[in-house]
Amino acid sequence: MKQITALLSVSDKTGIVDFAKALVSRGVKILSTGGTAKLLKEEGLKVTEVAEYTGSPEILDGRVKTLHPKVHGGLLARRDDENHLSTIAEHGIDTIDLLVVNLYPFQQTIDKPDCSFADTIENIDIGGPAMLRAAAKNHGTDKGGVTVIIDPKDYDEVLKELDEKGQTSYGLRLRLATKVYAHTSAYDGAIASYLSSLEDAEPAQNKTPSQKEWPGIITIQMQQHQAMRYGENPHQRAAFYVDSKQDVGLLGTYKQLQGKELSYNNIADADAAWECARSFKVPACVIVKHANPCGVAMAEGPLQAYQKAFKTDPTSAFGGIIAFNREVDLATAQAVSEQFLEVLLAPSYSKDALAFLANKKNVRVLSIPSGDGRNAFDAKRVGGGWLIQDPDLTPLDPTQIEVVTKKQPSEQQMKDLLFAWQVAHYVKSNAIVFCADGMTMGVGAGQMSRLDSARIASIKAEANGLSLKDTAVASDAFFPFRDGLDVVVEAGANCVIQPGGSIRDDEVIAAADEHDIAMVFTKMRHFRH
């Protein structure tokens, strides 16, 4: 094996001592900086400090140490270019064949609640990304190039190739270089996102959401969590990626306790169920099929909530996703297992519930810690671009609710209306939701016509043997004509909650008065496409 020079400078020192020892035992010359050099020397390894090699001391409190021609010349000189090689020889520069660098922990720093702005700025690495990009650019050809490592998991593979071939293969160097550019891109993206948040921090306090400006460039950083057999359909490739930073309470923090691998559709539907379930402050159960709630209920406990939710639409619940916002006990586990379900979600499970579910090997059981984590924004892919918006998280302001009819809703009716409104928030538009006593009685979702959604909701209730007499109805957007209101009243509704805002509001209000029902306006809509 030809003489190899390696430069080691890492913030994550996992495995670095053993790797350095393995390199030295193979005749590799070690260059290093700062804390890494100190650690390796303490372990008895022969190390040349970069400052000694370059003849230039570290300056500006360590901000400048590797930004030197003897470092970057050694990394960037092409191994198959005689002019490059003669030039660095003329200037007394040796080639650096192996670079092991990982960057200052910027993301970990800003995640600390007591992190100061000064600490954040000091944890923006300059020399590290410059070396990584130089080495990755010069990963070379099949005739040789620089091997660059950012991940301790790659140490063993590099050593294996050195032993087998005397040098690393082009394929490995290319893969590692690709990994570097993804890493530095994510690193710069985290910095850009942090600084963008500062730009808007002060003005945002006095602005409405519509007045706030989105940054000119948004960097979305994702890490692959799971490769999938296929996507929505078997002919589509798919994978599940999670945010580099996970807030407690979001689906991305799930832990799978048992069952088959989650599919693309499982994860999409599980997110819909979980978001709805965790929006309730009292015990609640949400059953989702094809991204829409087909049964939602709240009760004194999870079992009772499930029993009520299941009654809404047992047919649609078959093969669905069931989410609870409270611990699942044995009785609840036994009840849900009487039907075919794909995924069960809850913050936790009792020991006897888990023991029982272990016999249902096909059921995917997920635990998600309760929390208030929220996505910073929603994104939707369109041809050639993205649509970015704030998540629909604004709570209903009770002071904004306006009773617009002659008839006032009773206390119980108002409870039912608010429950129906909360469920409608999670139903695809056009959404019509009938509810009574903390339970969905009929759900009409995703129709091109609001009138059809109203009809479908009543048809489903009738098919499932549920009476809609004296139910509350929520509409996610205004009734554009009185016909939709007529349909829900004819089905049995005695009160309605809707945003209002139609040019025909007066006509719809007059219809409600004609039917002698109560109607309230929220002045907020919940379109969900």
- Which pLDDT belongs to residue 86? 86
Domain ranges of the chain: 5-197, 247-367, 399-521
Q: For residue 20, what are its two tokens?
A: 């350095």
Annotated catalytic residue, options 21, 225, 245, 290: 290
Residues 6+ apart with CB under 8 A from 157: 172
* pLDDT given for residue 347 in this prediction: 97
Residues 6+ apart with CB under 8 A from 449: 430
> Distance between CA atoms of 28 and 4, rounded to whole angstroms?
5
CB 326 within 8 A of CB 301: yes
CB atoms within 10 A of CB 18: 14
- Selected catalytic residue, list 13, 84, 137, 225: 137
Asked if 357 contacts 333 with a C-beta cutoff of 8 angstroms, the reply is yes
CATH number attached to the domain at 247-367: 3.40.140.20
pLDDT given at position 93: 87
Q: How far apart, in Å, are the Cα atoms of 224 and each of 263, 299, 513?
A: 14, 38, 55
Active site (annotated) includes residue 137:
yes
The stretches in the chain having pLDDT less than 50 are 201-209, 211
Q: Is the Cβ–Cβ distance between 409 and 417 less than 8 Å? A: yes
Known catalytic residue at 290: yes
Predicted confidence at residue 2, as pLDDT, reads 67
The helix (run of H) or strand (run of E) holding residue 422 is helix 411-424
Side chain identity at residue 187, one-letter code: Y
pLDDT at 205: 44
Partners of 432 in beta bridges = 444, 475
State the pLDDT at residue 199: 55
What predicted TM-score, i.e. pTM, was given to this entire model?
Answer: 0.79
First to last CA, the chain: 61
Same fold, 5-197 and 399-521: no
pLDDT at position 203, please?
A: 43
For residues 109 and 105, what is the distance between their CA atoms, to the nearest angstrom? 6
- What is the dotted CATH code of the domain comprising 399-521? 3.40.140.20
pLDDT of residue 206: 46
Count the neighbouring beta carbons within 10 Å of the beta carbon of residue 136.
Answer: 24
Nearest residue to 272 (alpha-carbon basis) of 323, 204, 218: 323
Domain 5-197 annotated CATH 3.30.1330.200: no
Q: Which two tokens stand for residue 349?
A: 């499970």
